[in-house]
Amino acid sequence: MKKVGILMGSDSDLPVVRKTIDTLASFDVPYEVHVYSAHRTPAQAQSFTASARENGFGVLICAAGMAAHLAGAVAANTTLPVIGIPMTSSNLGGMEALLSTVQMPSGIPVATVAIGGAVNAALLAIQMLAIEDKDLEKKLSDKRAADTAAVLAKNDAVEAEFNH
């Protein structure tokens, strides 16, 4: 199976990015994690990205906050799909990172999830890998069914308390 590359602009992003890591691990999807910044370590980010496909990666996830350029800069250096997670790391609440990440010019796409959307970033990466992987698709379907059952159980509890 192809690996998922997880890049974050700072180790201060790790508490949120850990949810991406945990989700990938729960599906037994292989991954690598790196702290590479578009601003502080651009050479390392570029070098990793340029060789990512030949190094066995299928999808890249980039988490960055503030003037968040990591996902866009990474996407500029690969034709692998890139998923961006805008992070909350300033008193602007992540809106600045959301706009920086989502407003890519035509030609260089970044699939942007919600501010702090670390779980969805992992699930989207898994869905991409599952296009050609029936076993992985089955795990996704099973998780959807389990999530649905959990929500319906909550509905049952609310209905039992209030509907008489």
Under the rule (CB under 6 A), what is the footprint of ligand RP5?
8-10, 12-13, 37, 64-66, 87, 89
Please identify, using beta-carbon distances, which residue of 64 and 83 lies nearer to ligand RP5: 64
CA distance 17 to 86: 11
CA distance 62 to 108: 14
**Smallest distance from ligand RP5 to CB 14, Å:** 10
**Smallest distance from ligand RP5 to CB 63, Å:** 6
**Smallest distance from ligand RP5 to CB 69, Å:** 8
Extract the runs of DSSP E, i.e. beta strands, from the chain.
3-8, 31-35, 57-65, 82-87, 111-112
Please identify, using beta-carbon distances, which residue of 41 and 127 lies nearer to ligand RP5: 41
Give counts: helices (H), strands (E), the chain: 6, 5
* CA of residue 73 relative to chain centroid, distance: 16
Please identify, using beta-carbon distances, which residue of 12 and 155 lies nearer to ligand RP5: 12
Q: What sign does the dihedral 44-49-54-59 (CA atoms) show?
A: positive
**Smallest distance from ligand RP5 to CB 9, Å:** 2
Please identify, using beta-carbon distances, which residue of 8 and 122 lies nearer to ligand RP5: 8
